[in-house]
Chains A and B, each alone.
Chain A
Amino acid sequence: MSTPAITHPSPSNEELAGLGTAPIPAGPYYRADYFELEREAVFGRTWLQIGHESELPEPGCFIVRPLEFARASILVVRGRDGAIRAFHNVCTHRGTQLVEESGGRRPLFSCRYHGWSFGLDGELRSAPDFERFYVEKSRCGLPRVAVDVCAGLIFVNLDPSPAQGLREFLGPLAPQLETLHVARATGFSEYVYEIDANWKLTYDNFQENYHLRFIHPRTGEAASGPENPFGYPEKYGLHGLHRTQTIWTNPGAVPKPVQAVAFGHLLRFLSPADLGSVYAKEYFALFPNFFLFGSPATPFSHCVMPLGPERSRGVVRLYWTGADQCASQRFAREYSMAVTREVHAEDRAVIEAGQRGLSSGALEHIHFQSHEVLCRHLFHSVDARVQAWKAGRTAGALA
């Protein structure tokens, strides 16, 4: 029996969301002045995914993450009380970067310059010859950064007084994320890439399927089929600043022999909670720069961090629950990571080609079709914040 054909009408929520159909200006995808505005209006005051609780299993465990767009380094620590705290990674004496490792476990953090030592709670514990200073120790704690956790994912916000808490920011997606495999993960595989491309251009590639058949002719075989040759999603969801798509897979796709072995073993080890997930086909796009795929078999996240107007870094993780139990599970996880990386490698190259074209300044506008509605939504979401920031700055100058 053949599979009933599905239709792929333009997303009906496009007009409802007020996104329109107009061309999108090309400048924001390469101009340095626009990026400077984004740094302040978006990344400087938004919850950003920066890590996972599994990286901080015990008190004293820490991670350090660079946020190049802010020229900042963030230290995230699990305290003796079990709480996760985040700080700017700077000694409060004279600003020396405090921790150089990317992660580890310590009872306290000592500055190599003059020996100031800070507790896991960020408080200054000791400083040599401190009686000669003109300040109280209680005023020398590490600068705090807002931090919160949802679904095991650690988010920080560089705004000293965030306009919203993380839960409010995520809205109705927060309880959905909490049901996903990532919320129970105890570890992950990871690969990292840098790319000569604007963060939005990079991110957009991963929220439209129009390119699948051209860029992923082999690796994307299961994601398209005769009844859906472009592999368009089954549906889209717009959730304030965030987006979702429900991916379509070809029910008639025949896996390659080794692929079938690997994915068979992946499924074999899934928990009842994973097997019963109603979000297994949901692809979450959290504003501004984070993706999370709900599939418990390939539960990957993808963070696209801006490094400059035409430079970004992608961090892709496949989250696992429990250490590898046996050879079959280890094989399945290795295969899954390798094949996901295969797809992203194909994407990276064509994104850079897109950036070269845009950066030439040859185009005033770019065009999004109806199934690129999520790209359109990202631009509108970013630009609304940028314009509001500019307006506020102008009003402040006139006041």
Chain B
Amino acid sequence: MNDGSRLPAGFEALEPFAARWAAESAAERDRLRAESSEAERIAFYRAGKDLLAPALASLDRRPLGELDDREQCLLNLMLGFAHVAIAVEVQGDLEEQRARLRRHLRITRSSADL
């Protein structure tokens, strides 16, 4: 199948966000969050919150080392969603101010990057 989709079947609703948010490292995912607008974060959050559990359940069916490109993209997207969810659910209107504080804490290692 070569329909241009980045994600596995069933997650088409997240397709508009894949190019923007599916980064490959924790530091990069944090950077994307910091550089995003509130509207971008809320749009991603609304699209992703009900698909998080199905996405993880789907990905859990295979070992991490055996994920294909679309599954890996979905995983990276969900890891980016973790950062965005903190911005939307926890920080809310404090997010932009908190982003300025976070930039001083450099992510040097993540279990997802190993």
Specify which chain A residues have a CB less than 8 angstroms from the CB of B83 in the assembled complex.
Answer: 334, 338
Residues 93-114 of B contacting A (Cβ, < 8 Å):
94, 98, 101-102, 104-112, 114
Q: Assess whether A330 is interfacial by the CB under 8 Å rule.
A: yes
Contact B89 A259 (CB under 8 A): yes
Chain B interface size, under 10 / 10 to 19 / 20 to 34 / 35 or more:
35 or more
Specify which chain B residues have a CB less than 8 angstroms from the CB of A335 in the assembled complex.
Answer: 82, 85-86
Contact B104 A194 (CB under 8 A): yes
Residues 20-45 of B contacting A (Cβ, < 8 Å):
26, 29-30
Contact B86 A339 (CB under 8 A): yes
Among the 9-residue stretches A33-41, A85-93, A185-193, A225-233, the one with 4 or more Cβ atoms under 8 Å from chain B is A185-193
Contact B56 A256 (CB under 8 A): no
Specify which chain A residues have a CB less than 8 angstroms from the CB of B91 in the assembled complex.
Answer: 218-219, 342
Q: Assess whether B10 is interfacial by the CB under 8 Å rule.
A: no
Specify which chain A residues have a CB less than 8 angstroms from the CB of B75 in the assembled complex.
Answer: 327, 330
Specify which chain B residues have a CB less than 8 angstroms from the CB of A189 in the assembled complex.
Answer: 26, 107, 109-111
Known contacts A324-B64, A346-B101; is-contact A192 B106 (Cβ 8 Å): yes
Q: DSSP class of A's interface residues: helix, strand, loop or mixed?
A: helix
Specify which chain B residues have a CB less than 8 angstroms from the CB of A195 in the assembled complex.
Answer: 104
Specify which chain A residues have a CB less than 8 angstroms from the CB of B94 in the assembled complex.
Answer: 217-218
- Pick from B60, B79, B82, B102: contact of A345, CB below 8 A: B102
Question: Shortest Cβ distance from A224 into chain B, in angstroms?
Answer: 15
Residues 50-65 of B contacting A (Cβ, < 8 Å):
52-53, 55-57, 59-60, 63-64
Known contacts A259-B89, A262-B82; is-contact A192 B105 (Cβ 8 Å): yes
Specify which chain A residues have a CB less than 8 angstroms from the CB of B90 in the assembled complex.
Answer: 218-219, 256, 259, 339, 342
Instruction: Report Cα–Cα, A346/B103, bound state, in Å.
Output: 11
Chain A interface size, under 10 / 10 to 19 / 20 to 34 / 35 or more:
35 or more
Nearest-CB residue, chain A, relative to B111: A333
Specify which chain A residues have a CB less than 8 angstroms from the CB of B53 in the assembled complex.
Answer: 261
Instruction: Report Cα–Cα, A333/B78, bound state, in Å.
Output: 12
Specify which chain A residues have a CB less than 8 angstroms from the CB of B49 in the assembled complex.
Answer: 257-258
Q: Assess whether A331 is interfacial by the CB under 8 Å rule.
A: yes
Contact B111 A330 (CB under 8 A): yes
Residues 309-334 of A contacting B (Cβ, < 8 Å):
316, 320, 323-328, 330-331, 333-334
Instruction: Report Cα–Cα, A108/B105, bound state, in Å.
Output: 34
Known contacts A193-B104, A327-B64, A345-B101; is-contact A334 B110 (Cβ 8 Å): yes
Residues of A within 8 A of B (CB): 187-195, 217-219, 256-259, 261-262, 265, 316, 320, 323-328, 330-331, 333-335, 337-339, 341-342, 344-346, 348-349
Residues of B within 8 A of A (CB): 26, 29-30, 49, 52-53, 55-57, 59-60, 63-64, 67, 75, 78-79, 81-83, 85-86, 89-92, 94, 98, 101-102, 104-112, 114
List 8 interface pairs A-B (beta carbons < 8 Å), by A numbering.
A191-B108, A193-B104, A218-B90, A256-B90, A320-B111, A324-B112, A328-B60, A348-B104
